[in-house]
Amino acid sequence: MPDTNWGAVNAPATVLWSAPGKLRDYDELILRENNDPAGWSAGMDPALRLWLVGKADTMALYGEPVVILERHGAWLKVAAVEQKTRLNEQGYPGWAPAAHIVNSPAYLDALKNLPRIVVVKKTAPIYLDEALTQAAGEAPYQTRLPLLRENSGFVEVRLPNGGNGYLAGEDVKAESALTFSRSGIVSEAGKFLGLPYLWAGTASYGFDCSGFTMRLYQSQGITIPRDADEQALAGTAVARQDLLPGALLFFAAKGGVGQIHHVGMYIGDGMMIHSPNSTSTVRVEAMDSGSYGDEYWGARRYSP
């Protein structure tokens, strides 16, 4: 990434929007510099959540690197480089408040040269001291930060603003240690049962269907595309009779032959876990329940 055109997210999570500008007062919670994605998501009823469709595109996590594509007043059009998409070869595009994006040479250098740790809890406090007493924010699930030093009880990391921070050792895992297992990915998914659906969500404050599956595979050290229709073209096709836990299940309009509109993850015994829609939560149900039986498109696996 050219140094002058890159940045990193300096908020727990930021939404990447289809266009710049605030469209409703409620979103001040997520748009302000010191934002509150947890409160923003938790405070929305189904109607407020449904409003996001077509207006929000994805979500980038704390520390996630971006390429700056365009500037418009207090907004930046960016590409989230670790979210694969055919929409932009540099990463998933969208508009974010400029206050959420920082450009720190120290952080860029750390990204290039240091290993990273990964947050494995739903959220992990970030501290300013080794004793882990001065909390200064939080990092959601699958946040990745450059590792400066590891101790028995904590890790020291480079923060997006160029400073140093600390996380409890039990809250993180080395990125290099992430490996796929069928039981492991099912266990990771179960952490989020009951979490309300969030259109464009890729964070532990709320997931859409493909944001959920993307982060689950990231937890196993595997990168898959951001959107369901592209996830369906990656990996290897799996016949229905050969399904194993961890395979992704895709559903399409027109009796399963039209446009793909949903993805869930197979967990065994004909069951899937998924984040269905703006009126529901992450849940387990039969892959043939409701309209899903008629709309089944196929399955893919991404592990060896």
Instruction: Show the tokens assigned to 261.
Output: 């509109």
CB 226 within 8 A of CB 85: yes
Dihedral over Cα of 229, 233, 235, 236: its sign: positive
pLDDT means per 10 residues, the chain with 304 residues, are 80 99 96 98 97 98 98 98 98 99 97 98 98 97 98 97 98 98 98 98 99 99 98 98 98 94 98 98 97 96 88
Active site residue 274: yes
Distance from C-alpha of 20 to C-alpha of 31, rounded to nearest angstrom = 11
> Could you say which of 72, 100, 261, 274 is catalytic?
274
Distance from C-alpha of 85 to C-alpha of 60, rounded to nearest angstrom = 14
pLDDT at res. 4: 64
- Structural domains of the chain sorted by starting position, each given as residue range(s) with its CATH number in brackets: 3-103 (no CATH), 114-175 (2.30.30.40), 182-301 (3.90.1720.10)
Q: Which helix (H) or strand (E) holds 29?
A: helix 28-31
Backbone angles phi, psi at 55, to 5 degrees: -110, -35
Distance from C-alpha of 102 to C-alpha of 84, rounded to nearest angstrom = 22
> Could you say which of 72, 100, 209, 261 is catalytic?
209
Instruction: Show the tokens assigned to 268.
Output: 């065994």
Active site residue 72: no
pLDDT at res. 303: 84
| pTM of the model as a whole | 0.96
Contacts of 231 (CB under 8 A, 6+ apart): 210, 213, 214, 224, 225, 248, 250, 263, 300
Active site residue 261: no
pLDDT at res. 1: 47
